[in-house]
Amino acid sequence: MRVAMIGTGYVGLVSGACFADFGHDVVCVDRDEGKIERLRNGVMPIFEPGLDDLVGQNVRDGRLTFETSSAEAVRSADAVFIAVGTPSRRGDGHADLSFVYAVAEEIADLVEGFTVIVTKSTVPVGTGDEIERIIKQRRPDADVAVVSNPEFLREGAAIGDFKRPDRVVVGTEDQRAQEVMTELYRPLNLNETPILFTARRTSELIKYAANAFLALKITFINETADLCEAVGADVQQVARGIGLDKRIGGKFLHAGPGYGGSCFPKDTLALVRTAREAGRPMRLVETTVEINDARKAALVTRVSDAIDGDLKGKRIALLGLTFKPNTDDMRDAPSLTLVPALIAAGAEVQAFDPEGMTEAAKHLPGVSFKTGPYEAVEGADVVVVLTEWDQFRALDLDRVKTLVRTPVVLDLRNVYQPSDLRSRGFRYSSIGRA
């Protein structure tokens, strides 16, 4: 089938490359001429394991192309995907849909014949109705079906999530659109992937409800970790003990500094706003947002507690800056809250992240970025493990001890076993473990 993917951000680029790998003809469109030129030359705008190889192979095979103009791609497409950003709107936290609606207007002027317009961007309930209204008002003769098809891609594992998903959700009651969407996802039949067809508004809400529930689960185990510290329990064993219950499951029960990234923060805020506007406030989600914000704000206190006092003049080594490993995404990363607080307290901050330092440098002035983990810990008064990159899991601890000024480690991801650090003479603290 012929696919036009409007937007080459995280969702659009991964989705377009995977659809091309399924055998469809895909044109990815973005107005950023520099980005398109780089993509044509095999330079990825984001770090995602395996994406450069996937894009390169499908470009060479002629199934994936990149354009700055959407005209020809939309006219010839069986399905046009809207995959542009929906950041939190300033002031009220609701999703900013200006990019989505601008694309809808553009599409309306270009479509020819029956075309399925697919919202891949994460959008609040009712957005599909407005897209349909915009298109019909601009082009009353347009033969289109507007469909919701939310993405459930984890950064760092997006290609696998697209090709081997838990489910595919499609919001439409148009039979022709169902047939097009079924054909697009037909390669997943081999994996017996469930394709859930729902009403459009239901599909839009599924995305927000899923992310809010996962954010709630993370926040629950983080609060449990605080209780574990107070009563002398081990949060990792608690998480395993409850996670073995099949009704709960073990995923997203890893205590840490708080959730971040491109989805959970903005999607929980948007759901809170939608619920309030509908007169049905979601108190659990509202509280989840508040607790998570407070947790990240309190990280500076954990650092000062680790060294028993004043941060002024102390050298803090941060291992990891991105919100999670295997991505260069800095959006709502805990480091964005922690680093300014450390610097404001008079600390000197040096850091290393395997992929995120270029992006981090745009947001974290005053940080001394290092070329590796051992360079980052040199002369440190405390080493803070902030992101659980694989290469931080097996550091030569004896070498680390010779490099630091004071052998103190604050492990915010529970990467290490307390006995391993303490047997080497480190003062060690972690999350939810006595």
Contact 253, 213 (CB under 8 A): no
Alpha carbon of 416 to those of 236, 255, 363, 388, 390: distances in Å?
12, 13, 29, 10, 12
Reduced to 3 states (helix: H, G, I; strand: E, B; else coil), residue 101 is: helix
Contact 70, 110 (CB under 8 A): yes
Contact 266, 123 (CB under 8 A): no
Q: Which amino acids are annotated catalytic?
A: 263
Alpha carbon of 31 to those of 6, 34, 70, 73: distances in Å?
9, 9, 9, 13
Q: Please name which of 389, 338, 369, 412 lies closest in space to residue 156, comparing C-alpha atoms.
A: 389
CA dist 260 and 336 (Å) reads 10
Contact 5, 29 (CB under 8 A): yes
Q: Angle between the 200-231 and 264-277 helix axes, to the nearest 10 degrees?
A: 120
Alpha carbon of 194 to those of 118, 158, 168: distances in Å?
19, 18, 6
What does the longest C-alpha to C-alpha distance in the chain come to? 75
- Secondary structure element (H or E) that encloses residue 398, with its range: helix 397-403
Reduced to 3 states (helix: H, G, I; strand: E, B; else coil), residue 228 is: helix
Contact 88, 94 (CB under 8 A): yes
Residue linked to tokens 């659990």? 284
Contact 136, 105 (CB under 8 A): no
- DSSP state string for 26-92: EEEE-S-HHHHHHHHTT--SS--TTHHHHHHHHHHTTSEEEES--HHHHHH-SEEEE----PBPTTT
Number of residues assigned to the chain: 434
The CA radius of gyration of the chain, in Å to the nearest whole number, is 23
